[in-house]
């Protein structure tokens, strides 16, 4: 089969579209013919060797996939060859990849494979932040930072479905318009020096009950200025930087709840995947796929991700290429 292989990490290093052996499923694994695999920001960090994400090479990147089961291990329950699935596995930027059966789910019939591949990492993170950690309730105000990103777009869709009053931030006009078309009350520019005043004005002077922040950096402290007393904020990414400062006096008097997304275990991840999928289907929402690239053009897909001119997920498609059944 073909895979997109990282031979060496570095800011300008390409991916290599090359032949590798089809993996064999272990007892708890399903082997999936990958029709679509999303490109995650973490894949990009690994390729670049940034954000402390250096890995041993050569390595095939990618965790999120959707496709058709072609073989299952002896312990696998609930799946058999021919099933259409989405999964959180490993080495997904390939024509075949493995996933543990507990992180594999049936693909909703009405979703494309690209839409299904968009869900696992970003969807489960957004679900954990918005539905689990903060327990967002109908009628509450939530600020979704970087709503054009993969996590942000899921958080926006889930927040709207849960009946919250959703405010979004995004760095470009067209992204802010898209956020509003998806149900945000207002969308503000997170690069604006006046962001805090603009959020307050958009919310009629009200503060946010919940903030979902995948960006971090210096923005974090400014976000706290619009967090209501007793409000909840979740850091689920540090794209813009890992350091932010906190006025402990304000924390004391405001009674904020400050959360990190943490590192959930196997059972929790399975529950978050299922929870996100069920909410999206109940809401008749689909994951947002900005653009697909053929697997062979993974390097171009990475460049596209780096330019940040997208909304939702960037997805690689690959199984259509000649790939002998294992
Ligand atoms: N811990 C976990 O389990 C977990 C899971 C998933 C993701 N994450 C993390 O969450 C973060 C977001 O992931 P994602 O997949 O949603 O990212 P993404 O799809 O790549 O979206 C990132 C968006 O953030 C905006 N942005 C704002 N400030 C930025 C900056 N300084 N540099 C680059 N982009 C900036 C950009 O849009 P604008 O044009 O609007 O600025 C960009 O398109 C990543 O750091 C990722 O590693 C963590």
Q: How many residues does the chain have?
A: 326
- Long-range CB contacts for residues 295-300, cutoff 8 Å, separation at least 24: 295/2, 295/3, 295/4, 295/17, 295/37, 295/93, 295/94, 295/95, 295/321, 296/2, 296/4, 296/17, 296/321, 298/4, 298/15, 298/17, 298/39, 298/93, 299/14, 299/15
Nearest Cα neighbor of 100 from 49, 8, 31, 1 is 31
Helix (H) or strand (E) holding 84: strand 84-88
- C-alpha angle 257-273-179 in degrees, rounded to nearest 5: 65
Does 69 sit behind a cis peptide bond, omega within 30 degrees of 0 on the bond before it?
A: no
Structure token digits, residue 196? 């805090």
Helix (H) or strand (E) holding 106: strand 104-106
Other beta carbons within 10 Å of 307:
7
Other beta carbons within 10 Å of 116:
29
Longest dimension (CA), the chain: 64
- Residue 326's pLDDT is 45
- Residue 325's pLDDT is 47
Residues with CB under 6 A from ligand 1: 40-42, 121-122, 125, 146, 148-152, 170-172, 175, 214-215, 236-240, 261, 308
- Residue 291's pLDDT is 97
DSSP 187-213: EE-TT-TTHHHHHHHHTTTPPEEEEEE
Structure token digits, residue 166? 């959703």
Instruction: State which ligand 1 atom lies nearest to the alpha carbon of 44.
Output: 20
What values do phi and psi take at 68, rounded to 5? -120, 130
Residue 307 C-alpha to ligand 1 middle, in angstroms?
12
Over the stretch 277-292, which tens digit does the pLDDT of each residue have? 999 999 999 999 999 9
Q: What are the structural domains of the chain? A: 2-119+287-317 (3.90.180.10), 122-260 (3.90.180.10)
Q: Whose CA is nearest to atom 12 of ligand 1?
A: 214
Residue 1 C-alpha to ligand 1 middle, in angstroms?
31
Instruction: State which ligand 1 atom lies nearest to the alpha carbon of 191.
Output: 41
- The segments of the chain whose pLDDT lies below 70 read 319-326
Structure token digits, residue 227? 């967090």
- Residue 174's pLDDT is 98
What is the distance between the alpha carbons of residues 164 and 227, in angstroms, rounded to a whole number? 15
Which mutation among 237, 243, 305, 311 tests ligand 1's pocket best, with the greatest number of atoms within 8 A of CB? 237
Structure token digits, residue 89? 């596995």
Helix axes 120-127, 150-161, angle to 10 degrees: 50
């Amino acid at each position: 089969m073909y895979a997109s292989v990282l031979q060496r990490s570095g800011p300008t290093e390409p991916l290599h579209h090359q032949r590798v052996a089809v993996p064999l499923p272990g007892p708890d694994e399903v082997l999936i013919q990958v029709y679509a695999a999303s490109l995650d920001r973490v894949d990009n960090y690994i390729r670049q060797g940034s954000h402390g994400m250096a890995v041993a090479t050569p390595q095939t990147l990618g965790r999120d996939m959707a496709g058709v089961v072609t073989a299952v291990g002896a312990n696998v329950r609930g799946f058999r060859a021919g099933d259409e699935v989405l999964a959180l596995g490993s080495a997904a930027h390939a024509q075949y990849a493995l996933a543990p059966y507990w992180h594999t789910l049936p693909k909703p019939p009405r979703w494309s494979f690209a839409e299904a591949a968009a869900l696992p990492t970003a969807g489960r993170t957004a679900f954990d932040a918005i539905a689990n950690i903060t327990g967002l309730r109908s009628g509450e105000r939530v600020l979704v930072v970087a709503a054009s990103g993969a996590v942000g777009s899921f958080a926006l869709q889930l927040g709207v479905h849960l009946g919250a009053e959703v405010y979004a931030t995004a760095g470009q006009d067209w992204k802010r318009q898209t956020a509003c078309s998806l149900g945000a009350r207002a969308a503000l520019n997170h690069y604006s020096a006046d962001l805090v005043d603009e959020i307050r004005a958009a919310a009629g002077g009200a503060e946010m009950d919940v903030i979902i922040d995948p960006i971090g950096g210096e923005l974090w402290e400014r976000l706290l200025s619009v967090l209501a007393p007793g409000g909840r904020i979740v850091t689920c990414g540090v794209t813009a930087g890992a350091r932010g400062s906190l006025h402990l006096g304000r924390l004391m008097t405001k009674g904020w709840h400050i959360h990190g997304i943490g590192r959930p275990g196997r059972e929790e991840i399975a529950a978050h995947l299922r929870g996100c999928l069920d909410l999206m289907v109940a809401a008749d929402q689909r994951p947002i796929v900005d653009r697909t690239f053929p697997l062979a053009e993974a390097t171009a897909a990475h460049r596209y991700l780096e330019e940040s001119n997208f909304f939702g997920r960037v997805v690689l498609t690959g199984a259509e290429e000649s790939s002998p059944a294992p």
